[in-house]
Structure 1
Amino acid sequence: MNPVAKLLIIGGVVLIVLGLLWQVGGRFLHLGRLPGDIVVEKENVRFYFPIVTCIIVSVVLSLIMYVIRLFK
């Protein structure tokens, strides 16, 4: 099989699994509504930036990639 096709298939499966985990885990983890996430509400505008959630997701993904590189 072509390596690019294999990579795309694996990437798709990973995204599906992450999406399912996000749906199930969202009920318990409350990612996106953590203390430190920025919410500004005005009369007709609502601005939301989940900075703490982004940092946590980045750290977790970095740790996962580090562990994967250790076993390669």
Structure 2
Amino acid sequence: MEISKLLMTLGGILLLIGVIWQFVGRLPGDFVFKKGNVTFYFPIVTSIIVSILLSVIFYFIGRFK
């Protein structure tokens, strides 16, 4: 029963992040390199923010479990 609540919470959080991401777009510090018909996108700042958010979420899930 607990795993279902955890999965629903994580799904809701991911949905919220996805909706916010649609409005924010690329963050400053996300690199885009274009050369001819090749585009390379490296979202370094976005990766750091997502990592911090997931660390905080999992910290609170582990603390109150």
TM-score, normalization: structure 1? 0.66
TM-score by length of 2: 0.71
Match of 1:53 among 46, 53, 65: 46
Q: 1:40 aligns with which of 30, 33, 48?
A: 33
Percent identical among aligned pairs is: 51
Q: Which runs of 5+ in 1 are unaligned?
A: none
5+ residue gaps, structure 2, are: none
Secondary structure at the counterpart of residue 36 of structure 1: coil
Equivalent in the alignment of 1:24: 19
- Displaced runs of 4+ in structure 1, greater than 6 A? none
Deviations 1:11-68 (A, max 9, x none): 4x433x345324422244x15x111111101111110011110110010000010011
Aligned pairs, number: 63
User: Alignment RMSD, CA only?
Assistant: 2.3
Between structures 1 and 2, the one with greater strand share: 2
Counterpart Cα distance in 1 of 2:52 and 2:34: 28
